[in-house]
Amino acid sequence: MSFRDLRNFTEMMRALGYHRLISMENFRTPNFALVSEILIWLVKRYDPHSDIPTDVDTESDRIFFIKAVAQFMATKAHIKLNTKRLYQADGYAVKEMLKITSMIYNAMKTKEMAQEDVVEEDNKFKFDLSSRISDLKAVRQLASEVTSKGASLYDLLGKEVDLRAARMAAIARPLEINETEKALRAAIKKVQESVEKTKEMLNNVVSDETSLDAKIEKKKQDLERHQKRLQTLQSVRPAYMDEYEKIEEDLQKQYEIYVEKFRNLNFLESQLDEFYRLEQERFEEAENNLRIVQHKLREKERDLMRGSLKDEDSDLDVLEDEGSDSDLEESRPSKPRLIRNGLMAGTQTGYDCGKPDISGFYLSHHNLRVLLHLSPAFASDRKWMEKGWNQKSLTDLCHTVT
């Protein structure tokens, strides 16, 4: 902490209108309460609508408060603050707060100067500023000196209350030459010790400088030696380099062959997949066509069977009228109507052989045996012969169905 920074800070705070008097003794020791109060006032002065936590009772609250202030000034005013120094709350914190104070103070001065310029323009007071640059510099220097003198005077007046008693005690105390001489000798001794320490540190710096120069020289020599070694290695061609280049060329050729084969393999796999897909489509199409043909054949067989059953009914009626034929009666165990009923009954009772008949219904094994037994009589009839049905065709039909 420098006296000048503290003086400028107190003077600027007074100029900005801070409600409390700030003494230079306030920051001799850590004073976090005052620092937090000043920071809150500065933040509110910069942005009245800012939201900064004011609770500084615990250590975590103080840390959070310092971080919030530093973040606010960094984002809003682009001022980087050292949080560690602010947390110390001593003279080093004054340097950080001086950054905010200077910015606000300069803004205020700029505004005042702008207002003065407006007043001067209104009064139509014009002058050549370039011809009075030297006067402007002198005025600024005098203004800074007046500020510094005023700050120092204010500090001295603030200390007057504390120093008055000490001054009066010192004046009232009788002057003793021996004690004065002793104090002066002690002060001189301390100064001499500090001078000796400084000289010793300078000697150490010289010795350190010499040792560092020696190390630098050694590193330079090592660097030169390594560079020469590198150049030598770069100039010498390794013994295995020819073989390496040959193997590298072979590797490149093998890689090209591999890439070509890999592409061919991918192409062939795609062709094979396409072939399988086409075969699957052909197979499905053939199955669909086969189902259609089978369906048509079944329809035709049903139609033929319906016609044959109608002819069978008419022939059975004729055979019943011819009851005088004993051979035909012996060969028939029952009437054809009953046989037809038996066929239908076998179909209804469910003794199916598992395959469809031409007429669309299922024939049982019993009905098939009866049909085979009666097939000679059916085949001997003229109407059955005209229809093209005989024993062989009926037998083939029954075998086909079973």
Q: Is the same domain home to 321 and 204?
A: no
Is there a domain that residue 60 lies in?
yes
> Tens of pLDDT along 303-355?
888 888 777 666 666 555 555 454 444 444 444 443 344 333 344 433 344 44
Please count the other Cβ atoms lying within 10 Å of the Cβ belonging to residue 305: 17
Number of H helices, E strands in the chain: 13, 2
> Tens of pLDDT along 380-390?
444 444 444 45
Of 314, 311, 297, nearest to 360 (Cα)? 297
What's the Cα-to-Cα distance from 391 to each of 121, 130, 166, 198, 338, rounded to whole Å?
A: 138, 141, 155, 142, 20
Asked whether residue 377 carries a pLDDT value surpassing 50, the answer given is no
* Helix residue ranges per DSSP H, 56-90: 59-76, 83-88
Is there a domain that residue 260 lies in?
no
Is there a domain that residue 203 lies in?
yes
Secondary structure letter of residue 238 according to DSSP? P
Domain count, the chain: 3
Is there a domain that residue 346 lies in?
yes
Q: What is the pLDDT of residue 89?
A: 83
Q: Is the same domain home to 208 and 317?
A: no
Q: Is the same domain home to 20 and 138?
A: yes
Residue at which a domain ends, from 205, 236, 267 = 236
Q: Is the same domain home to 209 and 63?
A: no
More confident residue, 212 or 113: 212
* Helix residue ranges per DSSP H, 123-176: 133-172
Q: Is the same domain home to 142 and 101?
A: yes
Cα 204 to Cα 332: distance, rounded to the nearest angstrom: 145
SS3 content of the chain, % helix, strand, coil (to 5): 80, 0, 15
Is there a domain that residue 252 lies in?
no
> Tens of pLDDT along 66-118?
898 888 888 888 888 888 888 888 888 888 888 888 888 888 888 767 666 55
**Which residues is 362 bridged to in the sheet?**
356
Q: Which of 26-35, 49-58, 172-181, 269-278 has the highest mean pLDDT?
A: 269-278
Q: What is the pLDDT of residue 371?
A: 47
Residue 150: HSE in the Cβ half-sphere, 13 Å Cα cutoff: 14
Rounded to whole angstroms, the maximal C-alpha distance in the chain is 184
Cα 191 to Cα 215: distance, rounded to the nearest angstrom: 36
Torsions phi, psi for 289 (to 5 deg)? -65, -40
Residue at which a domain ends, from 187, 220, 236 = 236
Asked whether residue 250 carries a pLDDT value surpassing 50, the answer given is yes
pTM: predicted TM-score of the whole model, two decimal places: 0.31
Q: Is the same domain home to 163 and 203?
A: no
Cα 101 to Cα 55: distance, rounded to the nearest angstrom: 22
Give me the mean pLDDT over the 356-365 stretch: 41
User: Residue 345 is encoded by which pair of tokens?
Assistant: 């009954």
Domain that holds residue 70: 3-172
Is there a domain that residue 243 lies in?
no
DSSP character string of 256-268: HHHHHHHHHHHHH
Q: Is the same domain home to 153 and 218?
A: no
**Residue type, position 285, single letter:** E
- Tell me the Ramachandran region of residue 58: left when phi exceeds 0, alpha when psi lies from -120 to 50, beta otherwise: beta
Q: Is the same domain home to 122 and 31?
A: yes
Q: Is the same domain home to 152 and 20?
A: yes
Residue at which a domain ends, from 189, 211, 236 = 236
Answer positive or negative: Cα dihedral of 181, 183, 185, 188. negative
Q: What is the pLDDT of residue 341?
A: 40
Q: Is the same domain home to 28 and 159?
A: yes
Range of weakest confidence among 4-18, 236-250, 367-381 = 367-381
Answer whether 311's CB lies under 8 Å from 386's CB.
Answer: no
Is there a domain that residue 162 lies in?
yes
Is there a domain that residue 266 lies in?
no
Q: Is the same domain home to 310 and 382?
A: yes
Q: What is the pLDDT of residue 13?
A: 85
Q: Is the same domain home to 13 and 90?
A: yes
